[in-house]
Structure 1
Amino acid sequence: MIKSELIDRVSARNRYLYRQDVERIVDAVLDEITQALERGERVEIRGFGAFFVRHRPARSGRNPQNGNAVFVEEKWVPLFRAGKEIRERLNAAKKDGL
């Protein structure tokens, strides 16, 4: 699902909201999550999951095409860990044959 599909689905479930308002709400939520991650904060949405950042130190790596050693700079990477409820729903779907 892409962002526009999410906006369409939320709009369809909430007919009393204008699509433009739903788009602003989705943008605001995503912007707040992004800003919190930039500040190094953890964002937890109960029943859904948690977003957080992890530091990856600089290291020596290999170019897969030719095997030469390359330097990989340090970086911060965003991660997501699914919550218990979403994991249970996914696993229940697998058991039901979906």
Structure 2
Amino acid sequence: MRKAELAQAIASRTGLSRKQAMEVVTAFTDQVAQAMAKGQNVRLPGFGAFSVRERSARTGRDPRTGAELRIAASRTVGFKAGKRLRDTFSCERG
């Protein structure tokens, strides 16, 4: 599902216009991104949690030459599904 499709689904479910629903989706994604940029985790009970994960510096290899290279420490985004979301998938399989 793409952003426009998500906005359309929200619009049809809530009675908002498609434009208003798109603004809601955009505001949500912007707020999550801003919080994570500040190092904050975002928890949505039942859905899941977005977290900032720290990757330590490490040594890697150039696949072409085999030479060792230093990979700098970095931050990345993680997501862990909540129980309700996980249960949705387990029901579909069985």
With the length of structure 1 as denominator, give the TM-score of the two structures: 0.87
Matched, 1:11 2:11: yes
Aligned pair count reads: 94
Q: Is the partner of 2:31 in helix, strand or coil?
A: helix
Contact kept in structure 1, 2:43 and 2:50, CA below 8 Å: yes
- 59-68 or 28-37, larger mean C-alpha shift: 59-68
Q: In the alignment, what sits opposite 1:54?
A: 53
Contact kept in structure 1, 2:60 and 2:71, CA below 8 Å: yes
Q: In the alignment, what sits opposite 1:25?
A: 24
Q: Which runs of 5+ in 1 are unaligned?
A: none
- Give, in whole Å, the separation in 1 of the partners of 2:52 and 2:62: 26
Q: In the alignment, what sits opposite 2:83?
A: 84
Q: Is the partner of 1:81 in helix, strand or coil?
A: strand
| CA drift at 1:38 | 0.9
Q: Is the partner of 1:4 in helix, strand or coil?
A: helix
Q: Percent identity?
A: 35
AA aligned opposite 2:4: S
- Give, in whole Å, the separation in 2 of the partners of 1:92 and 1:3: 26
Moved >4 Å (runs of 4+): none
Q: In the alignment, what sits opposite 2:74?
A: 75
With the length of structure 2 as denominator, give the TM-score of the two structures: 0.90
- Give, in whole Å, the separation in 2 of the partners of 1:64 and 1:89: 40
AA aligned opposite 1:55: E
Q: In the alignment, what sits opposite 1:41?
A: 40
